[in-house]
Amino acid sequence: MILVTGATGFVGGHVVHTLRDAGHPVRCLVRDPRRAERLERLGCELVEGDMTEPVSLAAAVEGVECIVHLVAIRQGRDAQFEQIMSRGTRDLLAAAQDAGVRRLVHMSALGVSEHTKDLVPYYRAKWEMEQAVRGSTLPFAIVRPSFVFGPDGGILPTFRKLARLAPVTPIPGTGEQRLQPIWADDLAAYVVRAVADEAALGGTFELGGPDVVTWNELWARLKDALGVRRPSVHVPMGLMRLNALVTEQLPGNIPLTRDLLKMMEAGDNVVSDDLAARTFDLPLVPLDEQLRRAAA
């Protein structure tokens, strides 16, 4: 049995689907089973619980051989990052060790490092999660994906809407920072391989797609895929931060935050080694095909 945390999220949905396609029995930790009917239709076992409730974590890991840990938040107060991500991961690991779980695959994020851990609360929590995983007795694999693209979630649908509807496309700063988007199904394939492949144990794998582009190039290629001819404009980071200060006050999951701008300013979001390619040797969807699928 494989326990998946964060199964109701964008990446979680792709990971669960790929696990089930591979024939793995899956249990999903969900806060409200009534909102997880799609997971149930995939044949998953649902267990009600929360990362902030250690008792529910102990129940969730009972009889589990492997955990795929995907839970994260991108917005919130410092205390929420600590409670849900950092402390929640420590509690999950403690419960897993007590239950005799044999492996854990943890999803971190590309850009997380000791150098960047104090940049924003998200990076700090991700770093603390990684350190907790490495400090446990569980065999583990850590994956650090770049921006994850898919038609059904993440940031790409927001980009698609902006490119289609906005009279001009605002690009923060110079737009010369580089990124390496990975298709959601490719990320899921990496995770599923890490569940079973002994070569993955103890590894920290940076994951990106086959194409590295600047933000300027990304927007140009996205608009080509959409058949949009609207111009782009570079907006100084100071003005973008002022805009983010306003949008952060809005309800829901805000795509533009001051923390996201800080992460963009910190440098390129690209893979620094070929460990994942050498270990797994998986075919990856090229960026133009990712954008074509998103435009369909």
DSSP labels for the chain?
-EEEETTTSHHHHHHHHHHHHTT--EEEEES-GGG-HHHHHTT-EEEE--TT-HHHHHHHTTT-SEEEE----SSS-HHHIIIIIIIHHHHHHHHHHHHT--EEEEE--TT-STTTTTTSHHHHHHHHHHHHHHHSSS-EEEEEE-SEE-TTSSSHHHHHHHHHH-SSEEEETTS--EE--EEHHHHHHHHHHHHH-GGGTT-EEEE--S--EEHHHHHHHHHHHHT----EEEE-HHHHHHHHHHHTTSSS--S--HHHHHHHHT--B-----HHHHHH------HHHHHHHHH-
List, in order, residues 6 or more apart from 130 with CB less than 8 Å away: 106, 108, 112, 142, 204
Token pair 């109701």 is at which residue?
A: 8
Q: Does residue 184 register a pLDDT over 70?
A: yes
What does the mean pLDDT of the chain come to? 94
CA neighbours within 13 Å on the CB side: how many for 196? 10
List, in order, residues 6 or more apart from 107 with CB less than 8 Å away: 6, 11, 68, 69, 70, 72, 142, 143, 144, 145, 191
Q: Could you tell me the pTM of the whole model?
A: 0.94
Average the pLDDT over 177-196 and give the result. 97
Q: Does residue 253 register a pLDDT over 80?
A: no
- pLDDT at residue 87 in the model: 97
pLDDT band at 248 (very low <50, low <70, confident <90, very high): confident
35 closest CA partner among 12, 58, 63? 12
- pLDDT at residue 245 in the model: 83
8-33 confidence digits (pLDDT tens): 999 999 999 999 999 999 999 999 99
pLDDT band at 79 (very low <50, low <70, confident <90, very high): very high
CA distance to 181, 228, 282, 289, per residue, from 210 (Å) = 8, 24, 11, 11
Q: Do 144 and 110 meet the contact criterion of CB atoms below 8 Å apart?
A: yes
Q: Does residue 250 register a pLDDT over 80?
A: no
Q: Does residue 48 register a pLDDT over 70?
A: yes
- pLDDT at residue 76 in the model: 86
- Domains of the chain with CATH codes: 2-146+183-207+271-284 (3.40.50.720)
Q: Does residue 256 register a pLDDT over 90?
A: no
Burial (CB count within 10 angstroms: exposed 0-12, middle 13-18, buried 19+), residue 69: buried
List, in order, residues 6 or more apart from 32 with CB less than 8 Å away: 48
113-157 confidence digits (pLDDT tens): 999 999 999 999 999 999 999 999 999 999 999 999 999 988 999
List, in order, residues 6 or more apart from 283 with CB less than 8 Å away: none
Q: Do 197 and 203 meet the contact criterion of CB atoms below 8 Å apart?
A: no
- pLDDT at residue 247 in the model: 75
Q: Do 101 and 64 meet the contact criterion of CB atoms below 8 Å apart?
A: yes
- Relative to beta strand 140-145, strand 103-107 is parallel
% of the chain with per-residue pLDDT over 70: 98
Question: Residue 202 is which amino acid?
Answer: G
Q: Does residue 185 register a pLDDT over 70?
A: yes
Q: Does residue 75 register a pLDDT over 90?
A: no
Average the pLDDT over 28-55 and give the result. 94
pLDDT band at 179 (very low <50, low <70, confident <90, very high): very high
pLDDT band at 102 (very low <50, low <70, confident <90, very high): very high
